[in-house]
């Protein structure tokens, strides 16, 4: 056999294996997420964070940001539309234990503006991009919230299917972005 043909067959086999592997991980993640076990872990982590019992909608967020060096961020969100606030809690992991890190709250009344957009992937799952700005139009924080998070690699820790919870977040952010739209930068 020609070495070029062998190389092509090897490349096709590796690409096929990679596609199969990703599809298998997504399917296994979806099955695990349906149990709700990891979603309950997120709620329990948030309940530990708050000093008193407060009503909230829990959301798990994992973001990978960067071009050359990729940084991974994991958060638990406590969405409170009735109070117009969003608690953001960084999440750490030791073994299988999740623990809350630093937390802060974003309140509509203190923000300068909010940028929000939602798109759908090929499977129809929603992904949002939200950026929060202060009164001087400086970026405070950004978030990517998805309907479904799964353990695709060592940086993604949980399998969470959260379309209802994500809908609560999306509705609140749509309202925030309408009330505090991102205005063009002022010319100096």
The pLDDT tens digits of the residues spanning 153-173 come to 667 667 788 889 999 999 999
Q: Hey, which of 16-20, 72-76, 176-180 has the most confident mean pLDDT?
A: 176-180
Q: Please determine, for residue 75, whether its predicted confidence score (pLDDT) is greater than 70.
A: yes
pTM of the model: 0.76
Stretch 115-124: mean pLDDT:
85
Looking at residue 1, its pLDDT comes to 60
**Contact predicate 94/71, CB 8 Å:** no
Looking at residue 107, its pLDDT comes to 94
Report the share of the chain in percent with pLDDT over 70. 80
Stretch 62-76: mean pLDDT:
77
pLDDT greater at residue 119 or residue 188: 119
Q: Dig out the tokens for 46 from the structure.
A: 């948030």
- Nearest by Cα to 80 from 117, 115, 53: 53
Task: Please provide the average confidence, as pLDDT, over all residues in the chain.
Answer: 81
Rounded distance between C-alpha atoms, residue 130 and residue 55, angstroms: 23
Residues 19-44 have pLDDT tens digits of 656 555 556 555 555 666 778 888 88
pLDDT greater at residue 48 or residue 80: 80
Rounded distance between C-alpha atoms, residue 151 and residue 65, angstroms: 17
Rounded distance between C-alpha atoms, residue 10 and residue 54, angstroms: 56
Q: Please determine, for residue 183, whether its predicted confidence score (pLDDT) is greater than 80.
A: no
H/E stretch holding 118: strand 113-120
């Amino acid at each position: 056999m020609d070495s070029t043909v062998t190389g092509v067959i090897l490349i096709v086999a590796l690409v096929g294996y990679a596609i199969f592997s990703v599809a298998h991980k997504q399917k296994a993640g979806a099955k695990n997420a349906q149990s709700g076990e990891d979603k309950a872990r997120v709620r329990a982590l948030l309940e530990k964070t708050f000093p008193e019992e407060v009503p909230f909608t829990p959301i798990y967020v994992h973001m990978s940001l960067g071009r050359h060096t990729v940084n991974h961020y994991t958060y638990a969100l406590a969405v409170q539309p009735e109070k117009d606030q969003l608690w953001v809690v960084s999440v750490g992991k030791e073994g299988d234990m999740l623990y809350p890190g630093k937390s802060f709250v974003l309140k509509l009344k203190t923000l300068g503006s909010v940028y929000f957009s939602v798109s759908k992937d090929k499977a129809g799952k929603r992904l949002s991009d939200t950026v929060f700005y202060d009164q001087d139009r400086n970026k405070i924080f950004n978030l990517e919230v998805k309907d479904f998070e799964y353990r695709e690699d060592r940086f993604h820790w949980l399998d969470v299917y959260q379309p209802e919870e994500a809908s609560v977040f999306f509705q609140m952010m749509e309202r925030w972005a309408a009330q505090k739209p991102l205005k063009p930068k002022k010319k100096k």
